[in-house]
Structures are given as structure tokens and as C-alpha cells.
Amino acid sequence: MLSQTILTLFLGLAYLSQQVESVGFAEELYCGLENCYDVLEIDRGEFDKQKLSKLYRTAAKKHHPDRVRTSDPEVKAEAEKKFRLIATAYETLKDDEVREEYNYYLDHPEERFYNYYQYYRRRAAPKVDLRLVILGTIAAISVFQYWSAKSKYAEALSYALTVGKFRNQAIAEGVQRGKKVASTPKFPFRGGYKRESIYDTLIWQCIVLPLNTYHYIIWYIKWTMKYTVRREEYDEEAKLYLIRKHMGMGENQFNCLSDAEHYEFLDEELWVKANYDEWKKLKDQEEREKLAKSGKYKRYKRWLKNNEGSTISFLDEED
């Protein structure tokens, strides 16, 4: 009777010991309820990465499903499961960062949620270097920008060559500058149809971003000291900047306007916000009245209504 009680107690302690060893192991993490070191028969305290591949090949060869000479499907399934477990153990231990996370998982079984996070964060992380993805995206956008600008310039040039007055205007400008007239004159297109340039692409803007940021900081400090602290009078460059800011235009877009338009803005003192608001109100009113009397605009509205989704030419002849 006593011996039977001792045997029962011994078996109970053995079972409890087995359960204690598996505390913290989750079936869906790493090697499941088994220790990855034990799967490959490695002593964690004497881990040698240089010997890991050899131990893996030995274990994989020993438990490879093809070595199982049986027709029993359960035995084959068990062999395949064992082989996958060996592969999982090897993948876990061969990478230094993953092995470090796994060691933490073994040493801190009570931090179940953190261990789950570490495991699935690693599995969900992209396999491709994110920096290469960003660089490739920027390069692709830049190539498209350059090609699009080139196509638009060619489109503008092709159209302008068919219109006599634009061709004569370009030739006259070339003669005025003392240049020899070419068979295909260069037209001074501005805005969205100007000649393509690598300096207008995203990749170039990214390259010069640190320098531009530095220049902007210096400019902002000087502007604040000059016009906010010392309250000096605005010079012409500052006035044009304020006018462009009121108009909501980018620097390139504003520079595409003619010098005559810039002088008009200065004469109207549009750097003063109140003056600009009044000027804008008058301009909008004049534009509405002009369009209301324009037969061309009425034809355009009818055409646009009948050809929804289309666009008119970027360049229109004068009446």
C-alpha cells in the first residue's frame, strides 16, 4: 500500500515537473511546446553558431520524411511534423536578432503578450529593405516627371510650329538676342510646358532638401530680424514675395508671369493684404463681365458640355 502511494506521488511529481518546464511555451510560437535548442540537441550555454549548420543537416538527414520506410500515414505525418520542427528551430537560432528574442521568450515566460508581439512583428516585417523600396519609388516618380515634361514640351513645340504668329514671335526674339535663326526655333514656354529638366524632378529635390532647408532657415531668420524686429521697409524682392504669398502661387509659377505683370502688382501695392483683397475682387468682377460678353467663351461652354471629360488646347490664338 505504501509503495503504491509512493509510486503515485512520484508519477504526479514527474507530470508536474513536465508541465512546469513547458510554462510560457505557446503552441503557435517558435517551436511550439518544445525548446528549439533541445530539438537540435544543442546546449544553450555552449551555443556555437559555426556548428549550427552541421547539427541542422545531421538532424534533418536523420528525420527526413523520405527516410521513413513505411506505408503508415500517421508515421509519415509524424516524420513530416518532426522535420518541419527541425527547420523551424534552425531558422529561429541561425539569426542573431531572432535568437535573442527567442532567448528572452525562454527567460520571461510570464510576459506572454510581449512575446507574442515580438514574434508576429518579426513575421509581419517586410523581407525587402524598405530603403530600397523608397529609393525605387522616388526614382520611378522622377523618371515619369522627366518623361511627362519632355512629352508636354514636344507637344507645345509641335503645336506652336503650326501657328505662324508664335513661330514669328520666337524668330523675332532670337534675332533680338543676336542669335542665328534655326530651322526649328526655341520657344520660351513657361509653366507646365517648359523644357524638361532634371532639376524639376523629385529625386533632385530630395538630394538638395538638406541644403534648401538650411537656406530657408537662414532666410527666415534674416526676414524676421529685418522686417519683424527692426521693422525696416520692404525691398522689391520682399514685396514680390508677399504678393506671391497672397496669390497662393509657387515660386516657379509666379516667375512664369511677365515682368510687366510684376510691375503692375508693385504699382498696385499688392503686398499690402487689404490692397490685394480689393484688387482681387475687382479682377474677378472684370473677368466675369468679360466672359459674359465673350462669344468664344460661350462656344467653349457649349463644346465642353458636349465633350465632357475632354480638354482644350493649352495655347489659344488671339481674336
pLDDT value at position 5? 53
Assign 278 to helix, strand or coil.
helix
According to the model, what pLDDT value does residue 22 have? 45
The predicted-structure confidence for 75-107, as pLDDT tens digits, reads as follows 788 888 889 999 999 999 998 889 999 999 999
pLDDT at 244: 92
Tens of each residue's pLDDT in the chain, 319 residues: 545 555 455 445 444 444 434 456 888 888 888 899 998 888 888 888 888 888 898 888 888 888 777 777 787 888 888 899 999 999 999 988 899 999 999 998 888 888 888 888 887 766 677 788 899 999 999 999 999 988 888 887 777 667 666 666 666 665 555 555 445 555 555 666 678 889 889 999 999 999 999 999 999 999 999 999 999 999 999 999 999 999 998 887 788 788 888 999 999 999 999 999 999 999 888 888 877 777 666 676 676 677 665 554 444 444 4
Residue carrying C-alpha cell 538638395: 208
The pLDDT, as a whole number, for residue 21 is: 44
The answer to whether 203 and 139 have CB atoms below 8 angstroms apart is yes
- The residues, any chain, with a CB within 8 Å of residue 93's CB and separated by 6 or more, are 36, 37, 40, 42, 47, 52, 99, 102
The Cα-based distances of 155 to 104, 111, 195 in angstroms read 64, 65, 11
| pLDDT number for residue 132 | 87
What is the pLDDT, as a whole number, of residue 6?
54
Q: How high is the pLDDT of residue 14?
A: 46
49-52: long-range contacts (C-beta < 8 A, 24 or more apart)?
49/94, 52/90, 52/93, 52/94
